Amino acid sequence: MSKANGAGAGTISYSLFFFAFLFGPLIIMVVTAFNSSSFPRITPWECFTTDWFGVLVGNSRLMGGLGTSVIIGIGVVALAVPIGLAGALALSELSPRLRATLYTVLITPILIPGVVLGISTIVFWGLVGRAFGEDYASAFYNGLFLTLIGQVTFISAYAMLIFSARLQRFDPTLTEAALDLGATPGQCFRKILLPFLKPAIGSAAFLTLLASFENYNTTVFTILSDSTFTTALASKVRLGTDPSLSALAVIIIGLTLMGAMVHEAHTRRQSLLRSGKPKISPLYANPVTRVMTHPAGLAVILIGIAAALIYGGSQHDSSVCQANILAEKRAVQEQLLKEQRERIRKQREDATPTAPANGGATNNPSPFGGAFKPGGLSPNKETAPANPSPFGGAFKPGGLAPKPEAAPAPAPANPSPFGGAFKPNALKPDSN
Amino acid sequence: MTAIRNAFNGFVGRHGMGAAIFIGAAVFFWVIFLIVLPQLAMLDYSFRHNLPRADVGGPQDVYTIANYSYFLLGNDSTLQTTDLAVLGKTMLAAVFVTLIDIALCYPIAFILAHSATGVATRLMVIGLIVPFWVNEILRAFAFRVLFGATGVINGFGQSMGLWDVPIDFIRADVALYSGLTYAYILLMVFPIYNAVEALDRNQIEAARDMGASWWRVHWRVVLPVAKPGIASGATMVFMLTAGALAAPQILGGPSSLWFTQLIYQWFNQSANWQRGSAYAVILLVVCIGFVMLLMRVFKVNIGAIGR
């Protein structure tokens, strides 16, 4: 419990558990990006592939949304940072009573559900548009404008919190000294307060950009018929999942880690420079390590590594392995088909009446369960006329599986031991 | 009014005319046009009929409480409980997720503030922040990869022989609750951390020297200090969970609805914006009312939030 005694076993194990919960899902998602299986998963591992990155880049809706998101993000930064700064300055100098009221008002956009903010934004600006007699082609019904306004409403509050935190450490005697020495109040603002807030402006700009980019709840209402990167992503996830989304996660996590490392190098360098240690630090004596620990040098190195990985990945060809997997699966299916035919023949010979009758029942006593239902048990049954396969719908790409959660498909209820085994991609080679 | 004028004059005196006008105009625009008026417009809108555009402003455009009575009574004036049940379930689930987040984050915040040292602290802070730079949608997607019928957990469990039929975590809402718990962890850790960090370590050690057991130290010494942080974090997690849309859409089972999804349906599938607004007002009022009530019960001030 005490710093001097170091951390106890319980502390360490709890920390490990906590960070496993934090990183586990992300790591698993990253790994699935390299499996050729068309549903994101680790087991069974099929082939190492980099094709999903190509699929991702080829998705025109996502890439179009990326452009929209960048435009909105820049607009939000340009508006939310000054508004947040104004809010923080106002809060820092009001009388306590007024400050509490204003703080409550300004903090509510963070607490109000994003859905409510989005709705109120389109309703209000639609009303304004109608008051001016504008039609649907005007800015008041434009998804970009509405999203910008809707996001600024609450993202400004994030910026405000950052500025408030920084302002609390401001020493007002600096301003007083400047005023005593004959500076005008405007000069004090520009030459003392703004430079003091400069780091906060940087981090506020970064956070507002990120918040704007990530926002879904408000944007999904205000964007109207358009789509941003996040809304396009969400509709893709809802309609069906494939590992190209994991590939996107790999890219984002990679960028995040690079950013974090460069930022860490920057803060370390700053603290070294401040403490005056660089002269005696061994890192600075050696020119190689000196370049490597400089943030710019580190950034160049990381970008180089990333470029090499991208080039190496683009050269990787997994088609041979995927063809093998496909052939293997076909062989297994042939085998199962044979067994099943054998079984049916036997059952017919035994003339048990239950076998053909339970075609539609879910509690199928057959060890093959529902998987072989429509074609296998009763080849001439009318329920599956469009499906010539003896495996019925079970192997149709997308029939049961790529998104078993989205549709209340029979998959979860399937009691067959083979139920899950063949689902998503048994017959479907990765067509890309 | 005079208070505002005094404040403005104060700004002019301290920062100059230009800065004062900038501050005044920006805050005015923000408060009036971005926060207050849109909410009032939504409130007004929720009391109107869903009319074709030509009839808006005409004689039929009168106030009505039909959108609110629909929530309770449905179309046929008998008490309908489906929407009410969805609201209740959303609130309960949000409380549940908030409690789990408190339980998960209190120890880590305490460790971060009082047990970890130097490099470990820096690494932990970075480790806490980095996952939250990943898009919210992708985080939900990660839980779908984990919990899907052919997902990692089912694959692992089946290959280990723990169970042979895929367990439907999505339908059981396990995926949804885990995803929501995960999504807002950061908002819980940092307020508690900020509060606990202010605690003087000597107080803990004094309590231990006097023979208090570790849980008694936490209950009597640490928890009172952490309370404002917990309240602030809990408020944010609760509001964001109750207002979450992406995670329920992606991780919710086919039969379970989140109240925000009802609002979304009124807007995007039924094109009944007025009723959607009414439902949004209901959500807002219920959430804020609930938070206010709890703040009153636990004697916390709203000024503590966001610190």
Buried b (16+ CB within 10 A) or exposed e, B13-48: ebbbeebbebbbebbeebbeebbebbbebbbebbbb
Q: Tell me if A18 and B250 make a contact (CB, 8 A cut-off).
A: no
Question: Shortest CB distance from A214 goes to which of B16, B135, B164?
Answer: B135
Q: Which of A152, A246, A414 sits opposite B34 (nearest CB)?
A: A152
**Mean pLDDT of all residues in A51-58:** 80
The span from the CA of A134 to the CA of B136, in Å, is 36
| DSSP for residue A48 | B
pLDDT band, very low/low/confident/very high, at A25 (cuts 50, 70, 90): confident
| Virtual torsion, Cα B137, B140, B141, B147, nearest 10 deg | -170
**Which of B12, B30, B171 to mutate against chain A (most A CBs within 10 Å)?**
B30
Interatomic CA distance for residues A342 and A348, integer angstroms: 10
Mean pLDDT of A155-171: 89
A210 vs B: CB within 8 A: yes
B41 versus A58: the higher-pLDDT residue is B41
Predicted confidence at residue B95, as pLDDT, reads 93
Q: Output the six-digit token pair for A95.
A: 């009388």
Mean pLDDT of A340-347: 88
> Chain B residues with CB inside 8 Å of A156's CB?
30, 34
Q: pLDDT tens, B257-266?
A: 888 888 888 8
Domain assignment present for A96: yes
- How many contacts (CB atoms, under 8 Å) link A and B? 325
Domain tally, chain A:
1
Chain B residues 193-212 within an 8 A CB cutoff of chain A: 201, 204-205, 208
The average pLDDT across A334-361 equals 72
Q: Which of residues 71-90 of B touch A (CB under 8 A)?
A: none
Q: For residue B303, what pLDDT band results from cuts at 50, 70 and 90?
A: low
The residue of chain B with its CA nearest to that of A108 is B35
CA A210, distance to chain mean position in Å, is 12
Residue-range definition of the domain harbouring residue A99: 61-242
How much is the pLDDT for A417?
A: 42
For residue B225, the model assigns a pLDDT of 85
Whether the per-residue pLDDT at A287 is higher than 50: the answer is: yes
pLDDT at B48 over 60: yes
**Looking at the partner chain, which of B30, B151, B243 has a beta carbon nearest the beta carbon of A41?**
B151
Write out residues 407-426 of A within 8 Å (CB-CB) of B: 407-408, 411-412, 414-415, 417, 419-420, 423-424
Tell me whether residues A86 and B23 touch, CB distance under 8 A. Answer: yes
Mean pLDDT of chain A: 75
Query: Which one has a higher pLDDT value, B245 or B69?
Result: B245
Query: Residue B255, SS3?
Result: coil
For residue A187, being part of any structural domain is answered with yes
Question: Closest Cα partner for B230 from B173, B299, B179, B279?
Answer: B299
Tens digit of each residue's pLDDT (9 = 90 or more) over B162-180: 777 777 777 777 888 888 9
Q: Is B219 part of the contact surface with chain A (CB cutoff 8 Å)?
A: no
pLDDT for res A395: 41
Residues 265-304 of A with CB under 8 A from B: none
Exposed/middle/buried for A391, CB within 10 Å: 0-12, 13-18, 19+?
buried
In B246-265, the residues whose Cβ lies within 8 Å of chain A are: 246, 249-250, 253-255, 260, 263-264
In a domain, A185, yes or no: yes
- Spatial distance between the Cα atoms of B22 and B8, rounded to a whole number of angstroms: 11
Residue A419, pLDDT score:
40
**Would A12 be classed as within a structural domain?**
no
State yes or no: pLDDT of A278 exceeds 80: no
- Rounded Cα–Cα distance for residues A153 and B187 (Å): 19
**Stretch 52-71 of chain A: residues touching chain B, C-beta under 8 Å:** none
Residues contacting A17, CB < 8 A, separation 6+: none
A49 dihedral zone (left: phi>0; alpha: psi -120 to 50; beta): beta
Does residue A161 belong to any structural domain of this protein? yes
Of A399 and A61, the structure prediction assigns the larger pLDDT to A61
Find the mean pLDDT for residues B15-34: 86
Residue A78 lies in a domain: yes
Nearest-angstrom CA–CA distance, B256 and B149? 17
pLDDT category of residue A427 using cuts at 50, 70 and 90: very low
- Residue A413 clears pLDDT 90, i.e. is over it: no
Better-scored residue on pLDDT, A129 or B98: B98
CATH of the domain at A123: 1.10.3720.10
Residue A74: the pLDDT is 93
Residue A111 exposed, middle or buried by CB count within 10 Å (0-12, 13-18, 19+): buried
Alpha carbon A285 to its chain's center: 42
What value does the mean pLDDT of chain B take? 82
> A209-218, pLDDT tens digit by residue?
988 988 888 8
Give percent of chain B with pLDDT exceeding 70. 93
Residue A274 has pLDDT above 90, yes or no: no
pLDDT band at A83 (very low <50, low <70, confident <90, very high): very high
The verdict on residue A427 lying in a domain is no
Q: Is the separation of the CB atoms in A359 and A373 below 8 Å?
A: yes
> What pLDDT score does A383 carry?
39
Chain A contact present for B289, CB below 8 A: no
| Alpha helix segments (H runs only) across A94-193 | 96-111, 114-131, 143-167, 172-180, 185-188
Give the separation between CA A195 and CA A193, rounded to whole angstroms: 6
pLDDT at A407: 38
Residue A385 pLDDT: 40
In a domain, A172, yes or no: yes
Complex ipTM value = 0.85
Could B12 and A103 be called an inter-chain contact, meaning their C-beta atoms sit closer than 8 Å? no
pLDDT at A414 over 70: no
Please tell me the least confidently modeled range out of A176-180, A206-210, A362-366, B111-115.
A362-366
Largest Cα–Cα distance in chain A?
109
Q: What type of residue sits at position A89? A: L
Q: Is any Cβ of chain B less than 8 angstroms from the Cβ of A4?
A: no
Measured between beta carbons, which residues in chain A are less than 8 angstroms from residue B142? 25-26, 28-29, 249
What does the pLDDT average to over A80-93? 90
The reply to whether the predicted model has a pTM over 0.80 is no
Report how far residue B123's alpha carbon sits from residue B209's, in angstroms, rounded to the nearest whole number: 31
Binding-face residues of B in 31-60 toward A, CB within 8 A: 31, 34-39, 41-42, 45, 56
Contact between chains at A237 and B250 (C-beta distance less than 8 A)? yes
Answer whether residue B100 shows pLDDT above 90. Answer: yes
Q: B-chain residues within 8 Å CB-CB of A184?
A: 16
pLDDT of residue B102: 92
pLDDT for the residue A73: 92
Task: State which residue of chain A sits closest to B178, comparing Cα positions.
Answer: A21
Nearest CA in chain B to A116: B280
Query: Between residues A387 and A55, which one has the greater pLDDT?
Result: A55
User: What per-residue confidence (pLDDT) applies to A277?
Assistant: 62
